[in-house]
Amino acid sequence: MSFESLGLSAPVLQAVSEKGYTQPTPIQEKAIPIVLMGRDILGCAQTGTGKTASFVLPMIDILAEGRAKARMPRSLILEPTRELAAQVAENFEIYGKNHKLNMALLIGGVSFEDQERALERGVDVLIATPGRLLDHFERGKVLLNDVKVLVIDEADRMLDMGFIPDVERIVGLLSPMRQTLFFSATMPPEIKRLADRFLSNPKEVTVSAPASTGKNIVQGLAVVPEEDKREALRRLIKDQDIKNAIVFCNRKRDVAILQGSLKKHGFNAGALHGDMSQPARMETLEKFKQGEIQILVASDVAARGLDITDMSHVFNFDVPFSPEDYVHRIGRTGRAGRTGHSFTLASPDEGGLVEAIEKLIGSDIPRVEVPGMDAVAFDPSEGRGRRGRGRGRPAGGRGGRSGERAPRAPRREREPKPEAEVQAERAPRAERPHREPRREARPQEPRQHEPRQHEPRHREPRHEARDEPRHESRHEPRAEGRAHRERRPERRERPSRHDRHDRDEAVPMGLGDHVPAFLARPTR
Ligand code: AMP
């Protein structure tokens, strides 16, 4: 199918062709004609499928006629993060270059005054994160009753981040006489219920996740002791032909430490995490896009939806807590038909998390060896190894999507740790990532355990990416974590790598990061 057959206007088609697209993606093929008809859409698609253009292109044509009044936007696009909102705005600029549409971007970290001025001029397209939009609304700077087209993008992320009450409030401020386009990568029951409330006789459009079907991402996973991860990462980076790469960390504090460590070792590395100011984030992103930064160390939230078409590598410094995050992370590479590579570093206690990912993606992640380092086994008590499958093994052994194996480099002496790492390791216990005691590299016999009951994963709201936190939430330990501690009383007080308290998104409660060392010491 061609773009010409979708019903888009000539100026939009020209912009698309100048962008270099020759064929619509499946979501574009399915959604664009329906949006142009004025119908609501329930779209199940994630970043990387071309979903942004599937609503931006027809919206440009819908909004081409008519004029916006001051402070009364004609359309509204809600995005969970600033970065995603900025990317959608970029898309409007590219595809709308042959139109004269006014656009405003309401995101945190940017001055209210500039945004107010833009609203005053009248906007055809308002792109916003929920928190900042409500702030403007409460200041009386924006009225939403003239919105004719509403897009709720990445609804499941909104849910994860605790934004749904804000989204509900915003939708309550809109006229029911509107067209609503609702997109989510997954459709859990809560999201489906929301969609039922917000949408009117929607057409359902589903496209499969690119990472779950894409054969063009060569994946690999290496099991290494936690304390050797930095060295393992450096070795993998040196071993690979890297154009540009993202290194994902589960915690924002690790982002800064890892970036410092990579820089000390001579790598061209930048960092992206939730504590950075918006201008600093934008500057880093721009440098990364321009190739001035080769390796970007980032947290999930900060890097959400990063749209860099030509990224050669993704590294997971930690196994993500949520299997869906794995799919999102590796989906940053292997885009637009190019081959991408993703490597995951798992510590021996991350077997359970790996197991959950492999269940979700329906295949094993091929095991690779880090050049010059011995593979270790997953801890048999941490899920994966219980079935005796945890041995670090070369790729191609079983299952897996790819038969590629990381070539081994000649064995070298271990590099000395730079001062920043030594300092980080000397930091009080509560301020540094928990590390398992070093295990022998030799194979371990799987211990016999009762099969562990799988318990539903509890998702906590993420607040980091909010413009300003609105709701405080006390973080219950994960259901899985609770059950785990009940089963294994001897580990009760030990801080686990899987605890989410210092995740990028978590709001520090009580003593926050400043827990005195004596309180964090394990009790027997
Ligand atoms: P999205 O899912 O909207 O984040 O888009 C993922 C990537 O695909 C972006 O880099 C887009 O520029 C690109 N893209 C979108 N539509 C097309 C298309 N029809 N052909 C080729 N690339 C596209």
* In the chain, domain spans: 3-206, 217-361
Which overall architecture, per CATH, does domain 3-206 show? 3-Layer(aba) Sandwich (3.40)
Whether residue 53 has its Cβ less than 6 Å from ligand 1: yes
Tell me the residue ranges of DSSP E strands in 227-281.
Answer: 245-249, 269-272
pLDDT of residue 211: 44
pLDDT of residue 187: 85
Does residue 436 contact residue 351 with C-beta atoms inside 8 Å? no
Angle of helix 229-239 relative to helix 252-264, nearest 10 degrees? 60
* Nearest residue (CA) to ligand 1, atom 16: 50
Fold of 217-361: Rossmann fold (3.40.50)
Whether residue 25 has its Cβ less than 6 Å from ligand 1: yes
Whether residue 210 has its Cβ less than 6 Å from ligand 1: no
Whether residue 81 has its Cβ less than 6 Å from ligand 1: no
Q: How far is the CA of 50 from the centre of ligand 1 (A)?
A: 4
Whether residue 385 has its Cβ less than 6 Å from ligand 1: no
* Nearest residue (CA) to ligand 1, atom 11: 50
Dihedral pair phi/psi, residue 511, rounded to 5°: -80, -10
Does residue 248 contact residue 315 with C-beta atoms inside 8 Å? yes
pLDDT of residue 420: 41
pLDDT of residue 276: 79
Q: How far is the CA of 49 from the centre of ligand 1 (A)?
A: 6
Phi-psi region of 372 (alpha: psi -120 to 50; beta: other; left: phi over 0): left
- Prediction pTM value: 0.55
Q: How far is the CA of 187 from the centre of ligand 1 (A)?
A: 22
pLDDT along the chain (524 residues), means of 10: 94 94 91 97 87 97 93 97 90 95 93 94 97 96 97 91 94 96 89 94 82 69 94 94 92 90 95 82 87 92 67 93 83 75 93 88 88 82 43 32 33 35 36 33 32 34 36 32 33 35 38 45 50
Cα–Cα distances in angstroms (integers) from residue 57 to residues 32, 37, 201, 250, 477, in the given order: 8, 13, 22, 35, 43
Q: How far is the CA of 281 from the centre of ligand 1 (A)?
A: 23
Strand order in the sheet with 245-249: 217-223, 340-346, 313-316, 245-249, 295-299, 269-272
pLDDT of residue 252: 81
Q: In degrees, to the nearest 5, what angle opens at C-alpha 356 toward C-alphas 353 and 360?
A: 140
Q: Which residues contact 444 (CB under 8 A, 6 or more apart)?
A: 377, 380, 385
What is the distance of C-alpha 497 from the center of its chain? Answer: 19
Using the structure block, give the residue that is written with the tokens 């930095």: 230
pLDDT of residue 266: 95
Does residue 328 contact residue 157 with C-beta atoms inside 8 Å? no
* Residue 78, beta-bridge partner list: 128, 152
pLDDT of residue 281: 82
- Residue 330 CB burial class (10 angstroms; 0-12, 13-18, ≥19): buried
Which DSSP state fits 367? Answer: B
What is the distance of C-alpha 277 from the center of its chain? Answer: 19
User: Do 3-206 and 217-361 agree at the fold level?
Assistant: yes
* Residue 206, beta-bridge partner list: 44
